[in-house]
Structure 1
């Protein structure tokens, strides 16, 4: 009997090991989608070469994607069709580019049949160029050295890779630097900085009377009698306290980001596990859901797809910003936005001016205070090692004296080191872009050093 058990155990171990070596088609599809999406966006949005993309956008990616990524064949770029295709064992993945909207991933197994069904934006930029940002570049040695330190891959964190730094004081650029291969016209993926851009679009919609943040999100899929998700408000979503379940950490929504999945199939279908507003849980799905709620209220898909451009990007002169969507026309504005350091600075200026731009109101009066006010439910503010973590407002992170920064400081933050830091008390903006790995860039220390340099 023991002999039979031993044989059975050995058989299970043997077949389990063999099974572990077999490629997982679902995982390969995600990794191929990652390569197709990033190659498409970096090439057609930013004009980057395949070699540059391999060195940055496809370097130091999610650890669980790295081995499969190295085994994939080269991406096939079709310059005429503006598509990128990546094959893998069992299939292929494709992403297609459009003006203003960047790249959308097509559903797996569809080939290019969905390209004609993708949303498009009309020529919104056919008008005089917006005035440039004011420049008053400083020759202060301490400020210059602090900026340079951000690029040395050590001062503010091992494994950091800075591509851009821009500092504004009193409405003017006082410092600006780019890594080789990047300049003021080079857009880069924002990752979760996009969430703060989404909050800006929602703010414009509030000002226009399209939505009210204290009302239920009102999604059709939640409208059945007795569905508790019907009680989730737009404010709950902005505060990351919807109460909906989400993957660990809430920021791995791979089926939408890399799998060609639709927002309506993956972001709004989760079940409720906590009372809305009672529990903070960082979730890409909450941001995608609040944008979906705006779409359902507008009831006109073309007006919806153009709304962020006409109401936010166009007035601010954000000419190098791409708001990417899924193939169903829903913005993936939790992460998939490509923009420049200068365009992010324009967003920051809008908030420093309490939603006013060139004498016109873009956001409701007080919206800047609203996004920077602590939400009722907060993330853990202190780690076991004593590190002071930022709080959370409405799609912005909150800093203050415990981080060595003035109270009232708030920031848009994204994976791999994307930051827009807004310091109202000092009339200062700090933009930092990167391709970080490891522990990440110490934005609080860097911002404190920038402020110290500006004081001298």
Structure 2
């Protein structure tokens, strides 16, 4: 009997140890990693108030995380119940800046700062959206007093809404900011960054570097069924790769973002569970696999690091924009794009203008058409790294030609070609924001 009891005790202890090592400990590390990364990035990349940062972290288990913020060395250390510590460090490298968990392991990048300074100076002589001279439009197509009153109430009722911007054609119709947030505050787009990734692929397509039908050419897939996955399958989230996109538990996406130093390398290990184009499934992993392919298509790391800035952001005046990298220097195209609300709206306008930025074709109108063509299994809701309203049931009171970039915690850029309108909402972290109610208020003030 004693031996049996001892064996039972050993078995229970072994199970608990395995459960701790494989689930509890990494789950706690995800929590402290999220907290350290978020606090570091918002503290050193943005200028929003500490209250707005704290408000975005008031959910379980973030309320139990301890923070040690070193503003001199630009680091944030976290732990929970004194264990599972993580440290995020701020970095600047060329155009790129941001925070990583641990250390950045890449070569130093050089940029032409004098050329950048002259471009920034030129911005101050041009009207928005081409430049930075901002005048809120007095267009007779809008009831400005009603719209302003309605937006003020929405901001008051939703304290985690950081910014709302409404643009029509080439005019800034309205903008509102939460207390502690400014027009020049960088704000995190989360999964809106996926559409930035698609736009970058659009620029490479315009240069003749790639087509959506091209094979992915992932070396790790050469000897199995994954060899048939195309870049288009990845762009359209129809690769058939195994993935769990769940932010409320230890999952593929939370492991990738907070436990892995090389995010594309982790995502590439995903096994095939369906044939390409057989099943649509939303996956942040595929967006970071696209980052890997993009890196391999360019001649060197410097070209890759500078590419989003030189071929997209700076072309349309998004000088506040940055995409944070992982520890190995891969652009985190799934999640870590930052820009001011005005610059995010500029990005939406680029799609409204079908890739043509005041005479310069950044990517082709065919790429916009491809990006907004629905994937068969998505039921009219998804294209190439962008959400659609084809059947009118994704956003019920919005025209069916509308499409949108959507991000965790309440980020959204809605592009409505039939109304020639772009509506941007940036948030800290909120669930249940009434987007349809917002759009109703804006449409009610629109006389067009």
TM-score, normalised relative to structure 2: 0.85
Are 2:48 and 2:181, in contact at CA under 8 Å, matched by a contact in 1? no
Residue 243 of structure 1 corresponds to which residue in structure 2?
A: 240
- Distance in 1 between residues matched to 2:411 and 2:100, nearest whole Å: 23
For residues 131-142 of structure 1, what are the structure 2 equivalents within 5 Å? Answer: 131-133=126-128, 135-137=136-138, 140-142=144-146
Matched, 1:75 2:68: yes
Are 1:171 and 1:427, in contact at CA under 8 Å, matched by a contact in 2? no
Residue 360 of structure 2 corresponds to which residue in structure 1?
A: 360
Residue 217 of structure 2 corresponds to which residue in structure 1?
A: 218
Are 1:211 and 1:294, in contact at CA under 8 Å, matched by a contact in 2? no
Query: In terms of mean alpha carbon deviation, does 252-261 or 21-30 score higher?
Result: 21-30
Q: 2:118 aligns with which of 122, 127, 145?
A: 127
Q: What secondary structure sits across from 1:41 in the alignment? A: helix
Residue 404 of structure 1 corresponds to which residue in structure 2?
A: 397
For residues 34-183 of structure 1, what are the structure 2 equivalents within 5 Å? Answer: 34-48=34-48, 50-56=50-56, 58-60=57-59, 63=60, 66=61, 69-79=62-72, 81-87=73-79, 89=83, 91-98=85-92, 100-107=95-102, 114-115=103-104, 117=106, 120=109, 122=111, 123=113, 125-129=116-120, 130=123, 131-133=126-128, 135-137=136-138, 140-153=144-157, 161-183=160-182
Q: What secondary structure sits across from 1:318 in the alignment? A: coil
For residues 272-291 of structure 1, what are the structure 2 equivalents within 5 Å? Answer: 272-291=272-291
| 1:184-217 deviation line (CA, Å, top 9, x unaligned) | 1111111111111111111111111121110111
Q: What secondary structure sits across from 2:399 in the alignment? A: coil
- Distance in 2 between residues matched to 1:238 and 1:355, nearest whole Å: 18
The Cα shift of 1:261 comes to 2.6
Are 1:219 and 1:296, in contact at CA under 8 Å, matched by a contact in 2? no
Q: What secondary structure sits across from 2:311 in the alignment? A: helix
| 1:131-160 deviation line (CA, Å, top 9, x unaligned) | 341541566233223323432437xxxxx7
Query: In terms of mean alpha carbon deviation, does 275-284 or 133-142 score higher?
Result: 133-142
- Distance in 1 between residues matched to 2:107 and 2:203, nearest whole Å: 25
- Distance in 1 between residues matched to 2:178 and 2:331, nearest whole Å: 30
Aligned pairs, number: 423
Residue 381 of structure 2 corresponds to which residue in structure 1?
A: 391
| 1:399-442 deviation line (CA, Å, top 9, x unaligned) | 1544222121000001111010000011001001113434x223
Residue 450 of structure 1 corresponds to which residue in structure 2?
A: 442
Any gaps of 5 or more consecutive residues in structure 1? Answer: 108-113, 155-159, 382-389
Q: What secondary structure sits across from 2:196 in the alignment? A: helix
The Cα shift of 1:359 comes to 1.2
The Cα shift of 1:59 comes to 2.5
- Distance in 2 between residues matched to 1:405 and 1:280, nearest whole Å: 24
Q: 1:20 to 1:367 in 2, by over 3 A?
A: closer
Any gaps of 5 or more consecutive residues in structure 2? Answer: 130-135
Q: What secondary structure sits across from 1:425 in the alignment? A: helix
- Distance in 2 between residues matched to 1:152 and 1:323, nearest whole Å: 30
The Cα shift of 1:90 comes to 5.8
Are 2:238 and 2:278, in contact at CA under 8 Å, matched by a contact in 1? yes
Give the root-mean-square deviation of aligned CA atoms.
3.1
Residue 387 of structure 1 corresponds to which residue in structure 2?
A: none
- Distance in 1 between residues matched to 2:388 and 2:33, nearest whole Å: 33
Residue 133 of structure 2 corresponds to which residue in structure 1?
A: none
Are 2:245 and 2:284, in contact at CA under 8 Å, matched by a contact in 1? no
- Distance in 2 between residues matched to 1:119 and 1:272, nearest whole Å: 36
The Cα shift of 1:5 comes to 9.4
- Distance in 1 between residues matched to 2:19 and 2:50, nearest whole Å: 32
| 1:60-88 deviation line (CA, Å, top 9, x unaligned) | 3xx4xx1xx44433223243x43333355
Residue 132 of structure 2 corresponds to which residue in structure 1?
A: none
- Distance in 1 between residues matched to 2:334 and 2:361, nearest whole Å: 25
Query: In terms of mean alpha carbon deviation, does 343-352 or 28-37 score higher?
Result: 28-37
Are 1:166 and 1:177, in contact at CA under 8 Å, matched by a contact in 2? yes
Are 1:249 and 1:281, in contact at CA under 8 Å, matched by a contact in 2? no
Q: 1:445 to 1:391 in 2, by over 3 A?
A: farther
Are 2:260 and 2:266, in contact at CA under 8 Å, matched by a contact in 1? no
For residues 192-231 of structure 1, what are the structure 2 equivalents within 5 Å? Answer: 192-223=191-222, 226-231=223-228
The Cα shift of 1:367 comes to 1.8
The Cα shift of 1:51 comes to 4.9
